[in-house]
Every structure is written in C-alpha cells, then in structure tokens.
C-alpha cells in the first residue's frame, strides 16, 4: 500500500480529488470575484491580463558604486523594479569602521554608512520613475530617509516616490536575528514610519510584513502565513493605538512570502492568506476601504531549496517556484539566481534569473486569464486546509496575548525550529528527495567560478567615513542627534529629527547609537 503523501504543512494530499472534496462549499463565500472580497482570486480584477507583475531583482554587494553598476545593468535588461540588499553591519545599525563590522562589510549586501553612500548607490537612476524595495528592518527609518534625501537632491518630491521598505522587525525576533531595539520601541518606530509616510510619501508601501525569512528558517507554508499575519495584526493594533485610523494606513501595507517547489500547496497558501487577511481587516478592525482588505505581496523564490551540488538544477527549481508565485497571484517577484547557494550571483546568472520571469510573462499563457486554478477540486480543498491550519496557529498566538507576547515566550521560534528539524531528518534519511544531493548524484561536480567580494572594501569604506567626519559640520550633526535623543525620550515622531541629523551627514551608526542610548538593545529570553 502506498505511503500517505503529506503537504509541506503536514496536511494530507489525496491521490484523487473530486466533487466530494468541495461538498457544502460556497463559491460566493470562498471565492468571490477577482478584485473583490474575500480576494481569494486576486487583489485586482484583471490581474496579469492588463500587465504582468513587477519584476524585481534583489541585488546589492560591496560598495555603493559596484551595486549601482549592477542596478544599471538590471534596468537595461528589463527589470521594472529594484530591490536593495544591505550588508550585515548596515542591517544591524553599525558603521563600516565599527569593530563589530569587521569582516562583514559589503558581504551580503551593499554597505551604506551615510547619505554620501546612498547618493552613489542611486547615481543616474531617476527615483521618481523607478520603484525601489529596500530589505531593511531595524534601521528601516534611516534608509528610507536617506533615500528621500537623495530623491530630493534629484528634484523628486516624496509624493512622487514609489516602493517599499521592509520595516518588519517582529520577524527578526522570530527567525532572522537582525534586531537592534526591544519590541516596544521597535513597534513605535514602525508606527512613526506609517505616520510620516502618510504625510510625506503617500505612495510608499510602509511595511513588507515578511514570512519569507520564517520559511527560510524552516517554517511550513501554514506556519509562514499564520505567523506573518499575526505580526501584521500586531502592527495594525500598534498604529490604531497610536491614534491612526485603519483606513489611513492599511492600504499601504504589503507582505513578503516565499515560493517553494511544491507548486499546488504554494498556490493554495497565497489564496488562503488573502482570504484570512481580508476577513481580519474587515471583522476585527472595521476597515471600510476595500484597499485596506487587500493582501498585496512580493514573492521571492526559495533560496533555502537551492543546492550547491549540481547548481544548474536550480534553474529548474527557480522556474517552478516562480510559476507557483504567478499562479498564486503575486504583485511582484524576485527569482533567485542559480548560483546563490555558492556565492553572490554573477552578472550572467542574475540576467538569467530575470529572463526566467520574462519567459513566464511573455512566452506562456498564464497571464491570459485570471486565477486559472479557481474551482480546482485539489487546489480549493488545499486552500481550505491551509487556511484552517493557519487560523489554528493564529488562535494559539492570540491565546498567548498576541504576536509580541508569543515572541517573548519563544513560541513561533520553537515551532519553526521543530519543522526545520523534521525536514533535516527527512533529507538525511532519504525520505525527502533532493535531486543532486541525496538522489541522482554525480561523482564529479563541474568547476564553477563564483563572484567574490574584494576584502579591501572594508578599508575603503573606513577611509570614506574618516573623510566624511572631517568634512562635515560636526556641530550640526551633534545638534541633530541631540534633538533625536530628546524626541525618542518623549512620544513625538522621531523621523523628522532623524532626517535633520542624516541630512547633516550623521552616519547610520551614529543615529542608531543615539537611539540605543535611549531605548536600549534587545536580548532574547534564552540569552538573558
């Protein structure tokens, strides 16, 4: 007798689905029309039949000048949106010459220390005509303001800027670890960004609530959407408690999910997530604007599923993952380069990743009709199953007092670690097949020359910082930082004084140190 097949979320997959799978199933309640509540079929009526999703390529390495050259190449090859990767010191709020930054400058993204670096990063790129996503969390406000300052230098007002700042610090406590401040002041900073952008950058997506990093840490699809939507609820509650009307900020919320090779469950996951979020926003928060109910999301293909062995096979994986995201109704997509399990992508592999999206958009028929899986016995049943599993997990989070209290108790982290361990065991035993790793292996791997970051970048960034500190108006910087500290001690929005300090050429590290001095730093419960 064949072994029962389970989804990545541990839910049964039937060998055959028929009408019985949808017995008592109400299409009006479960589906609706595309662009209408509950948005199962997509957030826009026409979806890709009018134009395809935004094709983003996540890039950034070394210095701002090197990353700028990569961005120009991507734009020339047809990228319709940029996605910026920052190095670890920038993500943690340290300057490139800080002792803790040693050995990490420019390694996993671009090093940005000041407005000078941001100016170089976007040199020759018209920021009023390019949509930019920035993967930055704890210091999100700083990088957003640096971007605005550079745009203003170009003559582009904040009202003309479009893009997204990730700004999702709660998932850092759960799965990723690049946090700076404790949860409460971090949530205050998030709400301050919401308020600031409503007035200054109304087209900007103020947060990208992320399940991607949870998935990369081992979360199942059900865990991914459950914990991500629970974080989203915490952000909405924080903003409402700060006095904001839900319909004033909710239309600019966005989400960020992974897309795995298990195509059917991924499609079901995206559809379930839209349905859950629409219901929560309507029933819990009383949102009236239909845009407040829309779960709009960016997708990245699953880096954790890429292998260093037989890396060309990753081309197939990425194609399947990208197709799942498109069939699931994503608003923008990044396709990983096949060599990312080895090193930073080369120019050639980054271009090939973009071409993968272009083939999906222009050579297949998946853009010809909206939600082609609607009514599928298998996908509709799986959508309901993933939704039920996610809602059950969200209920457990609520019973603990919400996302922040559950984080403090280590609930989400322990659940994800348990799932990751199960996958590792299955892979080790061979029960889970990974092509080229535990089956269909070869005796000899073909040589591959990866892209390497020049270690001299760290010294060059330190020299730039020394020059900046000698040239700038030190008194103006100190005045700006003093005003920022005073504001952080009170309840007013910290972004205006932060912008003043950054415009005076205060560094990322100096601004974060000013806030560390007021708010402290976060230490996880298991390290106290």
Read off the pLDDT of residues 190-211 as tens digits, 9 standing for 90 and up: 999 999 999 999 999 999 999 9
Residues 6 or more apart whose Cβ sits within 8 Å of residue 387: 272, 275, 276
Q: Which helix (H) or strand (E) holds 298?
A: strand 297-301
Same domain, yes or no: 418 and 517: no
Domain boundary among 409, 429, 449: 429
Q: How confident is the model at residue 527 (pLDDT cuts 50, 70, 90)?
A: low
> Per-residue pLDDT averaged across 100-120, rounded?
95
Same domain, yes or no: 275 and 399: yes
Strand positions, DSSP E, 86-192: 131-135, 163-165
How far, in Å, CA of 425 to CA of 432, rounded? 9
| CATH number of domain containing 256 | 3.20.20.240
451 domain residue, yes or no: no
Q: How confident is the model at residue 455 (pLDDT cuts 50, 70, 90)?
A: confident
Summary mean pLDDT of the chain: 95
Number of neighbours of residue 451 by Cβ within 10 angstroms: 17
What is the tens place of the pLDDT at every residue in 364-381?
999 999 999 999 999 999
HSE-CB of 165 using CA atoms within 13 angstroms: 27
10 domain residue, yes or no: no
- The reported pLDDT for the residue numbered 344 is 77
Contact (Cβ atoms closer than 8 angstroms) between residue 357 and residue 55: yes
Same domain, yes or no: 259 and 200: yes
Same domain, yes or no: 180 and 76: yes
- The reported pLDDT for the residue numbered 187 is 95
Same domain, yes or no: 470 and 386: no
How far, in Å, CA of 47 to CA of 70, rounded? 30
Phi and psi of 309, rounded to 5°? -75, 135
Same domain, yes or no: 338 and 238: yes
Contact (Cβ atoms closer than 8 angstroms) between residue 131 and residue 122: no
Q: Does the pLDDT value for residue 300 go beyond 80?
A: yes
Same domain, yes or no: 403 and 523: no
> Per-residue pLDDT averaged across 415-428, rounded?
97
> Which burial class, exposed, middle or buried, applies to 123 when counting CB atoms under 10 A from its CB (0-12, 13-18, 19+)?
middle
352 domain residue, yes or no: yes
Same domain, yes or no: 273 and 335: yes
Same domain, yes or no: 473 and 416: no
3-state secondary structure string across 73-102: HHHHCCCCEEEEEECHHHHHCCCCCCHHHC
Query: Edge to edge, what strands does the sheet with 163-165 contain?
Result: 204-205, 163-165, 131-135, 81-85, 54-59, 332-334, 297-301, 253-259, 207-210
- The reported pLDDT for the residue numbered 77 is 86
CA neighbor of 41 nearest in space, from 55, 51, 30, 52? 30
Domain boundary among 429, 449, 480: 429
Q: Does the pLDDT value for residue 43 go beyond 90?
A: yes
308 domain residue, yes or no: yes
Tokens found for residue 480: 């700006």
440 domain residue, yes or no: no
Same domain, yes or no: 307 and 251: yes
Domain boundary among 412, 429, 446: 429
User: Pairing between strand 131-135 and 163-165?
Assistant: parallel
75 domain residue, yes or no: yes
Same domain, yes or no: 469 and 401: no
What angle separates helix 508-519 from helix 495-503, to the nearest 10 degrees? 150
Task: Give me the DSSP letters along 205-270.
Answer: E-EEEE-HHHHHHT--HHHHHHHHHHHHHHHHHHHHHTT--HHHHGGGEEEEEEE-S-HHHHHHHH
CA neighbor of 262 nearest in space, from 325, 332, 321? 321
CA dihedral 430, 436, 437, 443 (to 10 degrees): 110
Same domain, yes or no: 67 and 104: yes
Residues 6 or more apart whose Cβ sits within 8 Å of residue 47: 34, 329, 370, 371
CA neighbor of 192 nearest in space, from 247, 244, 262, 123? 244
How far, in Å, CA of 190 to CA of 174, rounded? 17
267 domain residue, yes or no: yes
What angle separates helix 263-283 from helix 377-399, to the nearest 10 degrees? 50
Contact (Cβ atoms closer than 8 angstroms) between residue 154 and residue 108: no
How many domains is the chain built from? 2
Q: Which domain holds residue 506?
A: 457-527
- The reported pLDDT for the residue numbered 129 is 92
Residue with tokens 């659940």: 415
User: Pairing between strand 54-59 and 332-334?
Assistant: parallel
276 domain residue, yes or no: yes
Phi/psi zone of residue 194: left (φ > 0), alpha (ψ -120 to 50 degrees), beta? alpha
How far, in Å, CA of 19 to CA of 35, rounded? 26
Number of neighbours of residue 307 by Cβ within 10 angstroms: 16
What is the tens place of the pLDDT at every residue in 232-253?
999 999 999 999 999 999 999 9
The rounded percent of the chain whose pLDDT value lies above 70 is 98
Long-range pairs for 40-44: beta carbons < 8 A, 24 or more residues apart: 40/271, 40/274, 40/275, 40/371, 40/374, 40/383, 41/271, 41/329, 41/370, 41/371, 41/374, 42/274, 42/329, 42/370, 42/371, 43/274, 43/294, 43/295, 43/296, 43/329, 43/331
- The reported pLDDT for the residue numbered 60 is 78
What angle separates helix 377-399 from helix 411-429, to the nearest 10 degrees? 140
In order of 198, 243, 290, 341, 436, the CA distances from 432 in angstroms are 47, 49, 42, 19, 12
């Amino acid at each position: 007798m064949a072994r029962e097949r389970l989804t990545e979320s541990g839910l049964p997959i039937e060998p055959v689905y028929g009408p019985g799978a949808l017995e008592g199933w109400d299409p009006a309640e479960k589906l609706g029309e595309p662009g209408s509540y509950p948005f199962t079929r997509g957030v826009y009526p026409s979806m890709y039949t009018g134009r395809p999703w935004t094709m983003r390529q996540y890039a950034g390495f070394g210095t701002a000048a090197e990353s700028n050259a990569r961005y120009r190449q991507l734009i020339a090859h047809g990228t319709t949106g940029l996605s910026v990767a920052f190095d670890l010191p920038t993500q943690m709020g340290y300057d490139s010459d800080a002792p803790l930054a040693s050995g990490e400058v420019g390694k996993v993204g671009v090093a940005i220390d000041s407005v000078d670096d941001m100016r170089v990063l976007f040199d020759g790129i018209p920021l009023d005509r390019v949509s930019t996503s920035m993967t930055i969390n704890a210091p999100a406000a700083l990088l957003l303001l640096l971007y605005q300052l550079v745009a203003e230098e170009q003559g582009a007002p904040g009202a003309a800027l479009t893009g997204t700042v990730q700004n999702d610090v709660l998932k850092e406590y759960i799965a990723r670890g690049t946090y700076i401040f404790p949860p409460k002041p971090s949530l205050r900073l998030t709400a301050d960004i919401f308020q600031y952008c409503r007035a200054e950058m109304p087209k900007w997506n103020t947060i990208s609530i992320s399940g991607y990093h949870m998935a990369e840490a081992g979360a199942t699809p059900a865990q991914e959407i459950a914990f991500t939507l629970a974080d989203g609820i915490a952000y909405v509650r924080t903003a409402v408690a700060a006095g904001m009307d839900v319909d004033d900020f909710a239309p600019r919320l966005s989400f960020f999910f992974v897309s795995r090779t298990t195509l059917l469950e991924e499609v079901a996951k995206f559809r379930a997530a839209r349905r859950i979020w629409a219901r929560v926003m309507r029933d819990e928060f009383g949102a009236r604007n239909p845009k407040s109910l829309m779960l709009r999301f960016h997708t990245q293909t699953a880096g954790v599923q890429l292998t260093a062995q037989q890396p060309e096979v990753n081309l197939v994986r990425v194609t399947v993952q990208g197709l799942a995201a498109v069939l699931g109704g994503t608003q923008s997509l990044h396709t990983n380069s096949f060599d990312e399990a080895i090193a930073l992508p080369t120019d050639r592999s980054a271009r090939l990743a973009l071409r993968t999206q272009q083939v999906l958009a222009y050579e297949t028929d998946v853009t010809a009709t909206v939600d082609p899986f609607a009514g599928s016995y298998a996908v509709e049943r799986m959508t309901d199953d993933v939704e039920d599993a996610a809602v059950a997990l969200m209920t457990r989070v609520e019973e603990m007092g919400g996302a922040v209290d559950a984080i403090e108790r280590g609930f989400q982290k322990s659940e994800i670690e348990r799932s990751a361990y199960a996958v590792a065991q299955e892979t080790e035993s061979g029960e889970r097949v990974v092509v080229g790793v535990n089956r269909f292996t070869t005796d000899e791997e073909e040589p591959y020359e990866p892209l390497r970051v020049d270690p001299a970048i760290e010294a060059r960034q330190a020299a730039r910082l020394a020059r900046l500190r000698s040239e700038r108006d030190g008194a103006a910087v100190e005045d700006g930082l003093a005003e920022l500290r005073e504001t952080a001690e009170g309840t007013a929005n910290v972004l205006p004084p932060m912008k003043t300090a950054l415009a005076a050429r205060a560094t990322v590290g100096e601004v974060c140190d000013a806030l560390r001095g007021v708010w402290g730093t976060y230490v996880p419960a298991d390290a106290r």
